[in-house]
Amino acid sequence: MNAILSLIAVIALILIALLGVKTANLHSLFGIAVPYAAMAIFLIGVISRVLKWGRSPVPFCIPTTCGQQKSLPWIKQSKLDNPSTTSGVIGRMLLEVLLFRSLFSNTAFELRNGPKVAYGSTRWLWLGGLAFHWSFLVVLIRHLRLFTEPVPACLSSLEVLDGFLQIGAPGLLLSGVVLLLAVTYLFLRRVLIPEVRYISLAADYFPLFLILSIALSGIIMRYFTKVDIVGVKALTLGLVSFNAVIPEGISVVFYIHLFLVSALLAYIPFSKIMHLGGVLLSPTRNMPNNSRMERHINPWNYPVHVHTYEEYENDFREKMKSAGIPVEKE
Amino acid sequence: MYKGRKIITGLILFVGLAAIPFFYNSGKTSVKPEPNIDTPAIQQLAEKQCVEPREFMKANHMQLLNDWRDSAVRDGSRIYVNSQGKQFTISLQNTCMHCHSNKAEFCDKCHTYANVKPYCWNCHIAPKENKT
Amino acid sequence: MSKTPKPDELSKVDYTPPKTGWMDTPAEFKQGMWCYGSKPKNLETLEFPNPRQWSPADEDWKLPENWQEILLNGLKERLDKYRSFKVFMDICVRCGACADKCHFFIGSGDPKNMPVLRAELLRSVYRGNFTTAGKILGKLAGARKLTYSVLKEWWYYFFQCTECRRCSVFCPYGIDTAEITMMARELLNLLGLNTDWISGPAANCYMKGNHLGLEPHTIVGNLEYMLDDIETITGIKIKPSFNRKGAEILFVTPSGDLFADPGTYTAMGYLMLFHELGLDYTWSTYASEGGNFGFFTSNELAKRLNSKIYAEAKRLGVKWILGGECGHMWRVLNQYMDMWNGPADFLLVPKSPVTGTVFENAKSTKMVHIAEFTADLIKHGKLKLDPKRNDHLKVTFHDSCNTARGMGIFEEPRYIIKNVCNHFYEMDEHTIREKTFCCGSGSGLNAGENMELRMRGGLPRANAVKDVVEKYGVNMLANICAIDRAALPAILDYWVPGTGCTGVHELVANALVMKGEKERTTNLRGEPLNGMEGQE
């Protein structure tokens, strides 16, 4: 149900762009106004969301320690999984953000007769997630060729690398294929694994369908219906040099693609996709386990009502004396 | 414990990354390139048409060249029959470049603009005018 | 109280989620899965709101009129106080990596025991009230209203989480359900909705200094029983001191070890070790609790209970503090105490008077874990040990959740065990160290009336023990946590009968060759030693 609703939402977006450009001829709206608005929402939205998080303090030092602490000099500390220094934390965060280290250690269990609970490593989610994020990044960087003139040499090398199989013309780019496969995998596991299906919200399917449609429309443009890429670049370059133009003859598929990308950009600040910023602010990962060595400060630490020793002794003075426990007041 | 400075630095970095294309192109005006078909060979043509119609060539020339390569090199067939039934010799250097002898003005202009790197010239010898 | 089903019945777990979506499936209060509600007198002692006689099974929980307003204001306040909470409300992608990591999910199959869904119970209300998308799109955005039924669901499931943080290890963003459960419990406490197994010990601790409510003379009395036993076994008479000013070290340990087997054997272990070293230390009857049931209630109460440790150290003028074997006590000491009640600038950086080792890792809190202290002693050859005395034991080690994932003390206890026992075997690698399974009774859930919940939650731990029992003949589960020592015997009896449970320092004391001791014929439990049978 959640999946179907999300699919309908994405189809609606596609229809809006299709009708808007094809029937209503609103090229400027979909080619200029919407992308600018989306970019603005994206930037302002992300910044304000991060600032909103930042306004709440981190009162306690609560890293999840996943290895040996730093204690006696002859005991080997696990410097990445239980860092006690900033460089350790940076190492831990880099491995987490770039290689998804926590997901790499994922396990699956099985309850057998006996009862016997058996565990094993499972890395499919890790692999799928890694493939998805990295191919998405490569696709994104590749698109910079449409936003730079002259195109920097490094972008050309990336594209050559991405198309190293030299299949067909225009040459097949691996990142696109991997992205498509990875999104499909992420979608399938969401509907096929009962537990994951049970926890999935519409907000989980929507970005998947959105990204799938973006990838598909891009692939259709590049390999099948073709698009006037020179015209497209004139438009995109116009956007980033604040000199927007609408060249003639760009296929509607491009406008659909652009509209879906705009929708994604504008959606990010309000959605779970903010995990890209949130992971960096996660106190269980980005803090060193040094709270016995160095004092952290809780900015809102306030005095509390305590039961003092004096009150305690008043309650029990006679009993303490008879048990031979020293007291302050005889 | 706010780590405000780190957060602000991170956000500036984020905005900086997002703004790269804007900075990169600021003050530059680029002109949408048009391939030049003004060559002596084309001037002499009575009917100025390529092996297929212009619109088809614009969208699909890479596919066609790819097919030509396969046909000539792998199948040994060097005859191409176009959509109007006309025959052409399959040859990049003798057919395509015969007319489009201006590689820099015809091919490279758009390819460079769109950052496309066809590997035609890995095997074929590029026309002289391109060599500086 | 319903009878707990038999193990073969309980271990038939159905993991198929219900046909209805989780928002449309209200919590069903199953007997044996929840604890009794907090009694009014305990809430009054703690100065908590809404003290009244109530039962979670009642239709009407006798809440104030404006209970929704109280909760939503409380939620807002906590979002502004804790970045962890705010970020964790926003960034979960529901990838499901945590789903099967919770011992309660493995043991019960209830989808709301998947960490992700437990968090969603609260997140849905957050979205419905504090996010634009949630307010406009409602259920589509995973948002819902805070209804009576939602409140009951919160109570039921946030007291089915032991705050063990195992899910947080596997989460790609480190989302920690313990943080969310802690917030949810704080909110519930705004309405007087605690369990009495938590508010009772907390009230005891507040007034009497320890969870069990042992009054000063009882503490002395209990220790004297132990001292008599020690004298019988070793021939050595030990005289510890209480509330002594000018001692070098204040020793703080969970009160559970002063009260019931097998924790008392661990306490005897401390007494014997300190005596043998001639340590200049004192017990305190005021700060007679290392554990902190306030931590399972609210941040503020945790701070109020914890304050006694530094206050007593200051009053007695000790140099530093040594802490006994306990799980959540050490999470609190490591990650909270200094921020609540520090700076401990009236204490000195801890230095072992026996080896001269300076504990640099505790230079701010000035509090050393006994396993660190003892490991250092053994490394320096300061203890005469006869591990053969533990030869009848085949030992495995259970990492307690809090010391594992809130501190990372893995090698110290293992080093000690390997020096005092000849037979040590590790459990399945997926069930130890940072991946260790909770005993299933942590965070104040070790009551009697929720036995089915505890047995279900204890299944993964017990099952890994069973595996080494079958493989290597393991007969003793060592640990460094008082709740483990209180909770695991029942769980082991249920799932792996015949397996014992011990603190590490009981093993140390049994192997410890003391100056002037008589030949030992029994261990601390009064069981004859190998080759000594029939000599009593």
CB C385 within 8 A of CB C420: yes
Q: Mean per-residue pLDDT for A298-325?
A: 96
- pLDDT, position C23: 95
* Per-residue pLDDT tens over the stretch C9-68: 999 999 999 999 999 999 999 999 999 999 999 999 999 999 999 999 999 999 999 999
Cα-Cα-Cα-Cα dihedral sign, residues C402, C404, C409, C412 = positive
| A247 touching B (Cβ < 8 Å) | yes
Angle (CA) C408-C413-C419 rounded to 5° is 150
Q: Mean per-residue pLDDT for B3-14?
A: 94
Q: Does the pLDDT of residue C163 top 80, yes or no? A: yes
Residues 170-199 of A with CB under 8 A from C: 189, 193-199
**Residue indicated by tokens 């320092």:** C505
The H-assigned helical ranges of C14-173 are 40-45, 67-81, 83-90, 103-108, 115-130, 132-137, 148-158, 166-170
Classify residue C420 as exposed, middle or buried by CB count within 10 Å of its CB (0-12, 13-18, 19+): buried
Query: CA-CA distances (angstroms) from residue C119 to A143, C29, C114, C116, C178?
Result: 38, 19, 9, 5, 10
Q: In terms of CA atoms, which chain C residue is nearest residue A300?
A: C81
Rg (chain A; Cα; Å): 28
Q: Which two tokens stand for residue C155?
A: 């109570």
Largest distance between two CA atoms of chain B: 79
Which string of DSSP letters, residue by residue, matches A181-192? HHHHHHHHHHHH
Q: Do A102 and C367 touch (CB under 8 A)?
A: no
Mutation target vs C (from A56, A64, A286, A287; most C CBs, 10 A cutoff): A64
Q: Does the pLDDT of residue C150 top 80, yes or no? A: yes
**Contact residues, chain C, for A326 at CB < 8 Å:** 242-245
Query: CA-CA distances (angstroms) from residue C396 to B9, C410, C456, C472?
Result: 48, 13, 21, 10
Lowest mean pLDDT among B57-66, C422-431, C503-512: B57-66
CB C528 within 8 A of CB C522: yes
Q: pLDDT tier at C531 (50, 70, 90 boundaries)?
A: low
Q: Which CATH class is domain A2-322?
A: mainly alpha
- pLDDT, position C536: 45
Chains in contact with C, counting 3 or more C-beta pairs less than 8 Å apart as contact: A
* Per-residue pLDDT tens over the stretch A235-294: 999 999 998 899 988 999 999 999 999 999 999 999 999 999 999 999 999 999 999 999
- pLDDT, position B2: 86
**Contact residues, chain B, for A170 at CB < 8 Å:** 62, 116
One-letter amino acid of C381: G
Q: In terms of CA atoms, which chain C residue is nearest residue A276?
A: C91
**Contact residues, chain A, for B24 at CB < 8 Å:** 147-148, 240
**Contact residues, chain C, for A74 at CB < 8 Å:** 379
CA separation for the pair C177, C182 (Å, rounded): 8
Q: Does the pLDDT of residue C231 top 80, yes or no? A: yes
- Which positions ≥6 away from C205 have C-beta within 8 Å? C211, C289, C292, C293, C294, C305
| Mean pLDDT, rounded, of chain C | 96
**Contact residues, chain A, for B2 at CB < 8 Å:** 54, 57-58, 299
Q: Do A195 and C343 touch (CB under 8 A)?
A: no
Q: Mean per-residue pLDDT for C95-104?
A: 96
Mutation target vs A (from C299, C361, C414, C435; most A CBs, 10 A cutoff): C361
- pLDDT, position A213: 97
Select the residue of C85, C94, C376 nearest A199 (Cβ to Cβ). Answer: C94
Half-sphere exposure of A281 (CA within 13 A, CB side): 36
| A231 touching B (Cβ < 8 Å) | yes
Q: pLDDT tier at B117 (50, 70, 90 boundaries)?
A: confident
- pLDDT, position C25: 95
Q: Do C91 and A322 touch (CB under 8 A)?
A: no
Q: Do B2 and A230 touch (CB under 8 A)?
A: no
Q: In terms of CA atoms, which chain B residue is nearest residue A171?
A: B118
Domain map of chain C by residue range?
7-31+49-193, 201-511
Select the residue of B21, B60, B63 nearest A148 (Cβ to Cβ). Answer: B21
Select the residue of A116, A119, A319 nearest C216 (Cβ to Cβ). Answer: A319
Determine the distance in angstroms separating the CA of A180 from the nearest CA of chain B, rounded to an integer: 22
Q: pLDDT tier at B129 (50, 70, 90 boundaries)?
A: low
| B2 touching A (Cβ < 8 Å) | yes
CA separation for the pair A100, C88 (Å, rounded): 18
Q: Mean per-residue pLDDT for C141-164?
A: 96
Q: Mean per-residue pLDDT for C304-323?
A: 97
- pLDDT, position B132: 40
CA separation for the pair A77, A75 (Å, rounded): 6
CB A274 within 8 A of CB C91: yes
Residues 13-42 of A with CB under 8 A from B: 39, 42
Q: pLDDT tier at C498 (50, 70, 90 boundaries)?
A: very high
Q: Does the pLDDT of residue C534 top 60, yes or no? A: no
**Contact residues, chain C, for A60 at CB < 8 Å:** 335-336, 339
- pLDDT, position A166: 86
CB C273 within 8 A of CB C509: yes
Query: CA-CA distances (angstroms) from residue C456 to A276, C12, C478?
Result: 36, 11, 21
| A153 touching B (Cβ < 8 Å) | no
| Mean pLDDT, rounded, of chain A | 95
Q: In terms of CA atoms, which chain C residue is nearest residue A79?
A: C408
| B76 touching A (Cβ < 8 Å) | no
Q: What percent of chain C has pLDDT over 90?
A: 96
CB A261 within 8 A of CB A58: no
Q: Do B113 and A230 touch (CB under 8 A)?
A: yes
Select the residue of A57, A103, A320 nearest C172 (Cβ to Cβ). Answer: A103
* Per-residue pLDDT tens over the stretch A229-239: 999 999 999 99
Crossing angle, helix C299-316 and helix C196-208, to 10 degrees? 30
Determine the distance in angstroms separating the CA of A38 from the nearest CA of chain C, rounded to an integer: 17
Q: In terms of CA atoms, which chain A residue is nearest residue C376?
A: A72
CB C252 within 8 A of CB C287: yes
Q: Does the pLDDT of residue C235 top 90, yes or no? A: yes
Q: Does the pLDDT of residue A124 top 90, yes or no? A: yes
Determine the distance in angstroms separating the CA of A187 from the nearest CA of chain B, rounded to an integer: 28
Determine the distance in angstroms separating the CA of A166 from the nearest CA of chain B, rounded to an integer: 9
| B5 touching A (Cβ < 8 Å) | no
- pLDDT, position C2: 60
Residue (of A86, A17, A36) closest to A235 by Cα position: A36
**Contact residues, chain B, for A277 at CB < 8 Å:** 14
Cα-Cα-Cα-Cα dihedral sign, residues C453, C455, C459, C461 = positive
Q: Does the pLDDT of residue B131 top 50, yes or no? A: no
**Contact residues, chain B, for A226 at CB < 8 Å:** 59-60
Residue (of C358, C334, C336) closest to C348 by Cα position: C358
Select the residue of A58, A125, A198 nearest C84 (Cβ to Cβ). Answer: A58
Q: Does the pLDDT of residue B130 top 80, yes or no? A: no
Determine the distance in angstroms separating the CA of A31 from the nearest CA of chain B, rounded to an integer: 17
Q: Which two tokens stand for residue A27?
A: 């090229």
Distance of CA C49 to the CA centre of its chain: 26
Determine the distance in angstroms separating the CA of B75 from the nearest CA of chain A, rounded to an integer: 17
The residues pairing with C202 across neighbouring beta strands, listed in sequence order, are none
Residues 97-126 of B with CB under 8 A from A: 110, 112-119
CA separation for the pair C503, C388 (Å, rounded): 18
Q: In terms of CA atoms, which chain A residue is nearest residue B64?
A: A169
Q: Mean per-residue pLDDT for C77-105?
A: 97
Q: Do C179 and A65 touch (CB under 8 A)?
A: no
**Contact residues, chain B, for A144 at CB < 8 Å:** 20-21
Lowest mean pLDDT among A83-92, A129-138, A160-169, C425-434: A160-169
Cβ pairs bridging A and C (under 8 Å): 327
Residue (of C420, C421, C425) closest to C393 by Cα position: C421
- pLDDT, position A168: 84
Q: Does the pLDDT of residue C524 top 70, yes or no? A: yes
Q: Do A51 and B7 touch (CB under 8 A)?
A: yes
Q: Do C408 and A78 touch (CB under 8 A)?
A: yes
Mutation target vs A (from B25, B52, B65; most A CBs, 10 A cutoff): B25
